[in-house]
Chain A
Amino acid sequence: MAAREMTYAEALREALREEMARDERVIIMGEDVKINVWTVTRDLHKEFGDRVINCPLSESGFSGAGVGAALTGMRPVVEIMYHDFTLYAADSIANQAAKYRYMCGGGDFKVPIVFRVAGGGSSGGSGCHHGQSLEATFIHFPGLKVIFPSNPYDAKGLLKTAIRDNNPVVFFEHKLCYPIKGAVPAGDYTVPIGKAEVKREGKDVTIVSYAYILHKALKAADQLAEEGIEAEVIDLRTLRPVDTECILKSVQKTSKLVTAEEGTKMGGVGAEIAAIVAEEGLQYLDAPIKRVAAAEWIIASSAYADQMGIPQVEDIARAVKELF
């Protein structure tokens, strides 16, 4: 199949369009999903009519309604406009969607729902209620799968897999990734949940990252190469379940681990990766693990300050060099 250049936002939209055409049970729910600030669902109602539902401003309510629809034969894709707003919807996602099947004894109780959540580390002047990275919050809940793609190809393939999965999936999207372009095949393909990808091979250190900051990690790796350090960069793609095998295999080769994320450090994704390596691969390491994460801060509200606490390319490069 021919691959075209398209943005991450366009790739997501294409996944939604194809899945809606393929399966009439797929519906879209959320705030302003017809015009859509992110453009991801824009104009799909012109093709799919009532299956694209503009919901009232009630994240808990429409997320819960999505659960009810998913239980009884639909496959809703619910958009929550920002990571920050997931906290309003947290009960519907983590107490209801995640637990419903189990608490009802399994069997025919299934919750095939995708919560698409935009956001990620930048407020761009919109304030600290529009700029957090909360993916780590949701990896804590058994019953959920959590995805956070970094590029257009994965965005399309993983969203399709998520929609076809019979479990609730929290699908994070990074707003700074939306304009990133990449090659995306036309037509159907999927990317498996739970598989990381080695984006750059190297022998000296493993950098585990995902989503937008993965691109910074790749730049840091290029800079490090000029100084003679060959970093292997892993894109997690799925945060729950984590591809432990891919990480351990790499650490076995490189003997050094650095994690890079935009969320805050304590209880973060990097903490989980570090713990996995400490438990299952400590013998491979010849240096301490380094976690690169946001400052323990409230993300600054102004466009001037919002990147000051978020790790940049040089922060990742510096963390790596500290291990040598």
Chain B
Amino acid sequence: MPAIEKDTLLKIYSNMVRLRVFDDKVNLLVESGIRITQHSTRGQEATQIAATAALEPNDYVMPYHRGWGWAIGKGMDPKILLSELMGKGTGCCAGKGGVHIADWKLRIMGRPGVQAAHVPIAAGVGLSIKMRKAKDVVLCFFGDGASNEGNIHEGMNLAAVWKAPVVFICENNLYALFTPNIETTSVQDIADRAQGYGIPGAIIDGNDAIAGYEAAKEAINRARSGQGPTLIEAKTYRIHGHTAMDRFHLGGYRPKEEVDEWEKKDPVKKLRERLMEIRMATAQELDEIDQKTKEEIEEAEKFAKESPYPTREDILRDVYCEA
């Protein structure tokens, strides 16, 4: 694996900070009474940002509910993202998607609300890429909870049998809503299930951005060269609860010590320290990124709040394609 370019590493760092600050901002907005459905990515910034950094601009990302790292990583402007989450007409889906973030030009497909429904869709995008003799790749995310859905089985079998250019990333954060996955999942390592489809399965430290980038790059290259899908399982942890409404761990379903332990593995801090350690960046450079990002997210908030809602006419449009 060749060394990762400085530009790429700094881009990953800056997008991880962007996601962290954005995530915090959304939580504050929810607390202030603004209705946004937010599944916080705090603690899970590394994999989504690093894996999308390994994509080419024309590659597709097939998102899942825990975001918004795949959107920021694929290049979405936080202004546009926040506007959409707030249902504003300036959002990427003209205020009609809300949580269903999508962007045709950025090749971000619609973020699904039904767990794993998008996995067969990702296989179909891969089939279409192959049939059109294009060279693009689909990066498809899902969580450990969704890994038990029938559509995961059907979609992964289809992608494997078609040798479709799809990379599956399962972010295993140990909980589906408030249920620990040891209660619901037949294997400890979801990557083991790759064997059932005759595709490679890899386990990575989901809090290590560099590991995430390297694993994603390898799987993406493999997919692009016609060798078919890979399943990557990123072991990670959600520091906040299931949604912004559950930031303080409803019902005490997990011990505080467990959360504290994972706080020590903070992926943003980890990459920051690593970048300084390998002398890729100075503390001052990284501080500047942090500061700039905070200002950018403040501006995004202002932009989204000041943006108009779509009209009723706009809201009712686009149920059908008239062309």
Which A residues lie at the B interface, using CB under 8 A? 27, 50-51, 53, 55-56, 58, 60-74, 76, 91-92, 95-96, 100-111, 142-143, 145, 166-167
Contact = CB atoms under 8 A, between A and B. Distances in A.
B321 A61 contact: no
B131 A61 contact: no
Interface stretch (B154-162, B203-211, B230-238, B248-256): B154-162
Contact of A102 (B114, B129, B155, B319): B319
Contact of B123 (A61, A102, A110): A61
Nearest to B122: A68
B224 interface: no
Contacts of B131: 27, 50-51, 69, 74
Contacts of B161: 56
Interface in B147-206: 150-151, 153-155, 157-158, 161
B157 A68 contact: no
Rank and list the top 10 A-B pairs by shortest CB-CB distance, nearest first: A68-B124, A61-B154, A64-B120, A105-B93, A106-B318, A65-B124, A104-B102, A68-B121, A58-B154, A103-B100
A68 B320 contact: no
A111 B323 CA distance: 12
B157 A61 contact: yes
B219 interface: no
Contacts of B153: 58, 61
Contacts of A64: 117-121, 123-124, 151, 154-155
A17 B131 CA distance: 19
Given A58-B158, A61-B120, A64-B117, A104 B125 contact: no
Given A58-B154, A108-B104, A102 B125 contact: no
Contacts of A70: 124
B312 interface: no
Interface of B: 60, 91-97, 100, 102, 104, 109-110, 112-114, 117-129, 131-132, 150-151, 153-155, 157-158, 161, 317-321, 323
Given A72-B60, A106-B94, 7 more contacts: A60-B150, A61-B155, A64-B154, A64-B155, A68-B125, A74-B127, A101-B321
29 contacts: A50-B131, A53-B127, A55-B158, A56-B154, A61-B151, A61-B154, A62-B154, A64-B154, A65-B124, A65-B155, A67-B120, A68-B125, A69-B125, A71-B124, A71-B125, A72-B60, A74-B131, A92-B117, A96-B112, A101-B319, A103-B100, A104-B93, A104-B102, A104-B104, A104-B109, A105-B96, A106-B317, A107-B104, A143-B319
Contacts of A143: 319-320
Contact of A103 (B60, B93, B128, B129): B93
Contacts of B119: 64
B148 to A, nearest CB: 15
B157 A71 contact: no
B102 to A, nearest CB: 4
A68 B119 CA distance: 9
Given A64-B121, A71-B121, A71-B125, A142 B319 contact: yes
B93 A91 contact: no
A56 B158 contact: yes
A76 B161 CA distance: 18
Contact of A69 (B95, B113, B127): B127
A96 B117 contact: yes
Contact of A91 (B117, B125, B129, B320): B117
Contacts of B123: 61, 64-65, 68
B158 A102 contact: no
Contacts of B151: 60-61, 64, 91
Contacts of A55: 158
A74 B91 CA distance: 28
Contacts of A108: 104
Contacts of A71: 109, 121, 124-125, 128
Contacts of B92: 105
B321 A166 contact: yes
Contacts of A73: 128, 132
A69 B124 contact: yes
Contacts of A50: 131
B131 to A, nearest CB: 6
B117 A68 contact: no
Contacts of A67: 120-121, 124
